[in-house]
Structure 1
Amino acid sequence: MFYPFDHYYLILVVPALLFAAWAQAQVSGAYNRYSRVRVSRGMTGAMAARRILDDNGLTGVRVERVAGKLSDHYDPGERVVRLSAGVYDSDSVASLGVAAHECGHAVQHATHYAPLTFRNAIIPITNFGSKLSIPLIIVGLFLSGTLVDIGLLLFSLVAVFQLVTLPVEFNASSRALATLENGNFLDRRELEGARKVLRAAALTYVAALLVSVAQLMRLILLFGNRRRD
């Protein structure tokens, strides 16, 4: 929401959005660059994912192709690693980095990695809070300051979710790089390329946290002032 003379948006949110745009550009640039660098061993993303999962005893986790670009993800409910066509079928450095990262999430799930378990547990609450927070704040401005406080509390869950996401994603990338190195998937030069791709991807999660925190601070300052008025 944008209000006339909402200088908090300009001061807090706009810089965070600019950082997010820059982070996304870094991901696209790194991915595009290293998607053109073929791995010397000729292994595709799908082949790497299957081997990583099997080596970790996760033979029951499927690897499937999914539509879209950079739509790769691990689905804990279905127990499936979904790789975009550009990763699934490609034998590029970027593809193996992305595939190994998603397999890292599968390993986290199998080993009950605490931050992932906590993040999955709060997803329903976070979704509920993100949808209801703004309406509650608006209604609260006319009826009760308590509703404003509840709305702000619900919105803060989005920031909590983004905060918990950081160790989950960083750990998945660390697992991926260790696996690619120790399993001899990539040589030293190729491994450095995969590291740059995953490092760039990590920036987008930092950006998401900054945006959510900036929005939360803006709402607190904006609606807190209106309540006092």
Structure 2
Amino acid sequence: MIFHPMDFLIFAALGLALWAQTKVKGNFEKWSRVRASSNLTGAQVARLILDKEGLSHVKVEHSRNGTLSDHYDPTAKTVRLSDPVYAGNSISSLAVAAHEVGHAIQDDTRYGMLVLRHRLFPLANIGSQLAPFLFIGGFLLNMMNLVGVGIILFAAAVLFQVVTLPVEFDASNRARKKLIELGLIANREEKGIGNVLNAAALTYVASTLMAILQLIKFILIFRGRR
């Protein structure tokens, strides 16, 4: 339990995740210094896209939870944007705002993977909290049944992360298309939008890869002990 050959791959995935997080911050900061030609703020762009999509009931609010805390709340039908995105008129601001609006559009159209993600959330939340304790208790007490239950619960959490990938990629694709269709960015600004969105997507890929490798590790240990 102290070390397993799979840990080499897990450490590599961890390194990728840390690099991805650094890349996200670097790209956001880089393109936050470039003003968008439309001179619109993230809040204005979010409101404009929502209204064009017939989603005037979806609110756009200012979140004060820190940079990169932007998200769409499906229960409150609200897009919440952090300080630099809500009031900023940079390429980064527009990219992030449009991405979160992409989730609002997914919610409105009942995008299949988003619906599945919402349904998986309760089980995934339980799994991510209980699985570590079941693993530790099962291996310490040599009770493989506990480990087996932990693997099942952890697998639900991993499945949630896997399903999150197409949800995030789809939201980014919607963001690019809407920004271009509505003439909110110039051709030369598409590269910056892509850099910001792609860097964010890479963090989801890295974290999902690490979770999958961890699941495989526990399955291999479980089979070996059995």
TM-score (norm 2): 0.94
* Residues 63 and 80, structure 1, Cα contact 8 Å, conserved in 2: yes
Counterpart code for 2:19: W
Name which of 41, 46, 51 aligns with 1:49: 46
SS at match of 1:220: helix
The counterpart of 2:89, out of the listed 91, 95, 98, is: 91
Q: 1:180·1:191 contact (CA, 8 Å) conserved in 2?
A: no
The letter for the 2-side match of 1:118 is: L
Match of 1:64 in 2: 61
Question: Does the 8 Å contact 2:165/2:204 carry over to 1?
Answer: yes
Residue of structure 1 in register with 2:204 after alignment: 205
Per-residue deviation, 1:115: 0.2
Aligned-residue Cα RMSD (Å) equals 1.4
For 1:183, the aligned partner's letter is L
Shift of 1:26: 1.4
Asked whether the equivalents of residues 13 and 218 of structure 1 are also in contact (C-alpha less than 8 Å), the reply is no
| Structure 1 residue 137 corresponds to structure 2 residue 117 | no
Partner of 2:120: 122
Offset of 1:146 from its aligned partner? 2.4
Letter aligned with residue 75 of structure 1: D
* Residue number among 25, 34, 37 corresponding to 2:34 in the alignment: 37
**1:121 offset after TM fit, Å?**
0.8
Deviates more, 1:212-221 or 1:193-202: 212-221
For this pair of structures, how many residues does the alignment match?
224
Moved more, 205-214 or 108-117: 205-214
The one-character-per-residue Cα deviations of 1:40-86 (angstroms, maximum 9, x if unpaired) are 12100000000011111111111111120111000001110000000
SS at match of 1:185: coil
CA distance 1:34–1:171, shift in 2 (3 Å): same
| 8 Å Cα contact 1:136-1:150 kept in structure 2 | yes
Question: Is the aligned partner of 1:179 residue 2:173?
Answer: no
**Shift of residue 9 of structure 1?**
5.9
Distance of 2:36 and 2:142 partners within structure 1 = 62
Query: What are structure 1's unaligned runs of at least 5 residues?
Result: none
Asked if 2 retains the 8 angstrom alpha-carbon contact of 1:12 and 1:218, the reply is: no
> C-alpha separation between the residues in 1 aligned to 2:191 and 2:135?
47
- Displacement of 1:111 in angstroms is 0.5
| Aligned counterpart, 1:13 | 10
Amino acid at match of 1:184: G
The one-letter code of the counterpart of 1:31 is F
- Separation in structure 2 between the aligned mates of residue 51 and residue 120 of structure 1, nearest angstrom: 26
Distance 1:24 1:111 in 2: 30
Deviation of 1:138 after TM superposition, in Å, equals 3.2
Identity %: 47
- SS of the residue corresponding to residue 57 of structure 1 reads coil
- By how many angstroms is 1:223 displaced? 4.1
Whether 1:160 and 2:159 are equivalent positions in the alignment is: yes
Contact 2:4/2:217, CA 8 A, preserved across alignment: no
- Per the normalisation by structure 1, the TM-score is 0.93
